[in-house]
A and B are shown apart, each in its own frame.
Chain A
């Protein structure tokens, strides 16, 4: 089966611009997650979708971040306007069930976002 696909793989934008990251989960995986790693720090949870519904967005840093999952398929994460501290690697993951230790997460390659 195809893995989790993220694009772009890299994005360099200026402070104040808008960027949209996309994630295509594995087909049939209802659960989709976004995580972020700021340079040298932990990978941190951002949010969790079940199909098209946001189940938990407690990790979203602020209202400059907007995630959507249209029709329960692919997801987008928009940052508007981008700030310097938003730089990092954004990972998407998907799983069939919601209990990751049983069903297993599959992560994408990540999008490296650099805000200059």
Chain B
């Protein structure tokens, strides 16, 4: 069975600094990986996905993620954090058998400090 780990419950970063939210995965075969964000009182919003191709994936709101097969990681990054980036971030992997189903990590709360 596949799994996703987000080792940090919370990440604090100063506004303007680069941010990284970590994600590692465990899956047999080629992974399909996703990042979602949940802003306060809002639903889960799709940020970006990796299916195949370039290891650096660019997504919404200036976010990007780097797929690293050898380290089984898919860390979310942004060069310069904004206060408005403060939210809950979820990494997910698509189930290899049940292609409609996502397996999520526990989520990481990102706080950007002015």
Residue ranges of A at the interface with B (Cβ–Cβ < 8 Å): 3-4, 6, 9, 31, 33, 35, 37, 40-45, 48, 55-56, 91, 93, 95, 98-101, 104-110
Residue of A nearest to B45 (CB): A107
Q: Which residues of B contact A107 (CB under 8 A)?
A: 36, 43-45
CA distance A37 to B104 in the complex (A): 10
CA distance A110 to B36 in the complex (A): 14
The answer on a CB contact under 8 Å between B100 and A31 is yes
Contact of B44 among A42, A48, A91 (CB under 8 A): A91
CA distance A101 to B4 in the complex (A): 17
Q: Which residues of A contact B100 (CB under 8 A)?
A: 31, 33, 48, 55-56, 95, 98-100
B52-110 CB contacts (< 8 Å) to partner A: 90, 92, 94, 98-107
Total number of residue pairs linking A and B with CB closer than 8 Å: 69
- Interface bin, chain B: 20 to 34
Q: Which residues of B contact A42 (CB under 8 A)?
A: 4, 103-107
B41 at the interface (CB under 8 A from A): yes
Contact of B94 among A41, A56, A100 (CB under 8 A): A100
Q: A40-B106, A44-B104 are in contact. Are A101 and B49 (CB under 8 A)?
A: yes
Contact of B51 among A9, A55, A56, A101 (CB under 8 A): A101
Residue ranges of B at the interface with A (Cβ–Cβ < 8 Å): 4, 9, 32, 34, 36, 41-46, 49, 51, 90, 92, 94, 98-107
Most A CB within 10 A of own CB, among B43, B99, B106? B43
Q: A41-B106, A42-B105, A101-B32 are in contact. Are A109 and B41 (CB under 8 A)?
A: yes
The answer on a CB contact under 8 Å between A108 and B43 is yes
The answer on a CB contact under 8 Å between B104 and A43 is yes
Q: A56-B101, A95-B100, A101-B49 are in contact. Are A4 and B90 (CB under 8 A)?
A: no
Residue of A nearest to B98 (CB): A56
